[in-house]
Amino acid sequence: MKRILIVNGPNLNLLGRREPEIYGYTNCETIISQLRERFPDLTIDYFQSNHEGELIDRLQQVGYDAGTGIVLNAGAYTHTSLALADCIAAIEVPVIEVHISNVHAREEIRHRSLISPVATGIIVGLGTDVYRLGVEALTRL
Ligand code: DQA
């Protein structure tokens, strides 16, 4: 695995100031720069969108590139988007589903993920460290 794409879905552009008691105080820029420092041999790209179709377009763009892996936090689309799940099922690169909060300890609607059945693996509830753990998992595949 040489190239990693970190994908954040809706409202995750607000990390650091969005409900920090749930999602922490670290913003996206810090998360990505820490990942680049920690994994200097990897090319780490970042994409965030609040729009379902834009997320699908970006996943499709890299979805057949050998040597690429995706760490995906789809935000609330995790629980609702059959289109995103279909996209992940269609593409060939590994996708690690991550969630900062422990979705299983929250409202019932967050317990169901449409993405989990088609993800390569799942990392949940360990704070923003889930992104690092997702990258590490991809490097070991
Ligand atoms: C989240 C959990 C989702 O339920 C929520 O809608 C998010 C963030 C997480 O990282 O904990 O936006 O994916």
Cα–Cα distance between 130 and 73 in angstroms, integer? Answer: 9
Question: Which atom from ligand 1 is nearest to the alpha carbon of 99?
Answer: 10
The rounded percent of the chain whose pLDDT value lies above 90 is: 99
Question: Which atom from ligand 1 is nearest to the alpha carbon of 79?
Answer: 4
pLDDT given at position 121: 98
- Catalytic residue from among 25, 77, 79, 99: 99
Which residue type occupies 137?
Answer: A
Question: Which atom from ligand 1 is nearest to the alpha carbon of 124?
Answer: 11
Catalytic residue list contains 23:
yes
Over residues 46-57, the mean pLDDT reads 98
Kindly tell me if the per-residue pLDDT of 66 is higher than 90.
yes
pLDDT given at position 129: 98
- The closest alpha carbon to 93, from 71, 72, 115, 66, belongs to 66
The string of pLDDT tens digits covering residues 78-133 is: 999 999 999 999 999 999 999 999 999 999 999 999 999 999 999 999 999 999 99
- The closest alpha carbon to 121, from 101, 98, 99, 92, belongs to 98
1 pLDDT tier (thresholds 50, 70, 90)? confident
Q: Given the structure tokens 């590994």, which residue do they identify?
A: 94
Backbone φ, ψ for residue 74 (5° rounding): -85, 5
Contacts of 31 (CB under 8 A, 6+ apart): 6, 15, 128, 131
CB of 134 closer than 6 angstroms to any ligand 1 atom: no
* pLDDT averaged over every residue in the chain: 97
Kindly tell me if the per-residue pLDDT of 27 is higher than 90.
yes
CB of 73 closer than 6 angstroms to any ligand 1 atom: yes
- Indicate the top mutation candidate among 6, 8, 81, 101 to test ligand 1's pocket, ranked by most ligand atoms within 8 A of CB: 101
User: What tokens were used for 4?
Assistant: 């990693």
